[in-house]
A and B are shown apart, each in its own frame.
Chain A
């Protein structure tokens, strides 16, 4: 009970870039600055899948990632949430012109809970998506049991 309550207020996120243009990744990095101050909202950014609650996935799923992303997803402990960021993660974006190169969208590979469109989305939009959709997803897992 108390764990569920606390988890909603301290979300550990892990950023996985699966081959975009880096634009979304630097927007996530910009969230660390004092202007947005991610940690004030209880989101802690570290790239360790085994400790994280939410995966932030950016980029077209490149060939190397198509199997690895599933393995990677399985490493994250339950309950978990996935936020797909940027046009590439949602549809493949500009790179979805020769279909064998990229495996986008991300939702074909792993289940996605929230999607943030934009090329790239603004940092505030990413923070809002994480704050709005990750806690309900984590809570709904508890209810299933």
Chain B
């Protein structure tokens, strides 16, 4: 029995995190994760600030899903006032959200391929991602942080040339992703590194509350986009899921989701309605619990506002905290080698910057700098959609 510490800075990791593996020979029997290298206190900074400031702060909780965070916050604020943005703004949000998802999934797969030392596919994926980043930069003016959403609509409008460029670039991305998918599916060495490694059954995934592609790779057929009003009313969205429950399923899931996202963006661009992009809204006092499917899974913003949209309490729950638990408790179990343990860790697409906001617990179990979640869960408003039975 020996212990192998990995991190906080390690060639296999991109973000600071300490994993302590308990091994018998090369086989991993137990694991422990030590977080805390990224704590900035975003939630405490948000308290007492107007929503205009908090939107920028939410964007900087995570730089990779930097559309999902403000998207969730702002749609949550719209639930309080019951203000539905114009249709063109809703479609713009869908386009931006899905482009963000495509680039996030591409970098996640790229880092997985680099983790198993398949540099060809890793670099190919990164190169394809640049085409999506070009689109994001062209639309919003920045490569990483977009500041796209605002209460009542979006900040900028598309031009005709933008829409044409989106379709052109996505056609290239689609053909390339089909190619990489085939390379991954038929590659013999990739199969050895991915199939039957990092198993997590459906029951285990439900027990640890895994979310997002990690859960859908284990056969859970759930996606928050199936409950999002715009997707329900205008896009015929079906969640993608696989039942292999291993590394292969999770990497393949991301490729499939990229293709599905490309379909959604194409449909949104084709059917983009004319009209205004923004509507006036005043944020009153209220509280809300709003969830959205970020690239990594369910993202929850639970918050309470005072008059004029000042944020009184806010709790952000990000997907990686659950997926990390799933990874440590079930996926590392019986990992054949230590190299595979790093590959398994990368398949959950960890985003430590998202995760580290939360609680400081001292030895006696006292919580510091954290005011409870449950005080906020009052008078919730249900989502509204034109279709019934949701």
Contacts and interface: CB of A to CB of B under 8 A. Distances in A.
Contact of B144 (A47, A65, A94, A120): A120
Contacts of B114: 32
Contacts of B9: 14, 16, 47, 49, 72
A5 to B, nearest CB: 27
B42 interface: yes
Contacts of B44: 98, 101
Interface in B11-28: 11-16
A25 B126 contact: no
Given A22-B353, A119-B145, A120-B143, A95 B41 contact: yes
Interface string B1-41: 00000001111111110000000000000000000111111
Interface centre among B15, B62, B123, B126 (most CB of A within 10 A): B126
B111 interface: yes
Contact of B45 (A48, A95, A120): A95
Contacts of B64: 22-23, 26
A33 interface: yes
B133 interface: yes
Contacts of A19: 16, 37-40, 353, 356
Interface residues on B, range: 35 or more
Interface residues of A, number: 42
Contacts of B218: none
B143 A27 contact: yes
Contacts of A26: 63-64, 107, 144
A24 B41 CA distance: 19
Interface string A57-89: 001101111001000100000000000000000
Contacts of A120: 63, 143-145
A34 interface: yes
A128 interface: no
A93 B60 CA distance: 10
Contacts of A64: 36-37, 39
A29 B14 contact: yes
Given A17-B15, A46-B11, A49-B9, A23 B66 contact: yes
A24 B63 contact: yes
A47 B10 CA distance: 6
Contacts of A72: 9
Contact of B123 (A22, A34, A48, A95): A34
Interface centre among A23, A59, A72 (most CB of B within 10 A): A23
Contacts of B12: 47
A90 B107 CA distance: 26
Interface of B: 8-16, 36-42, 44-45, 56-57, 59-64, 66, 107, 110-111, 114, 122-123, 126-127, 129-130, 133, 143-145, 351-353, 356
14 contacts: A19-B37, A21-B59, A22-B64, A25-B15, A29-B14, A30-B130, A47-B14, A59-B38, A62-B40, A64-B37, A94-B56, A94-B60, A95-B60, A101-B39
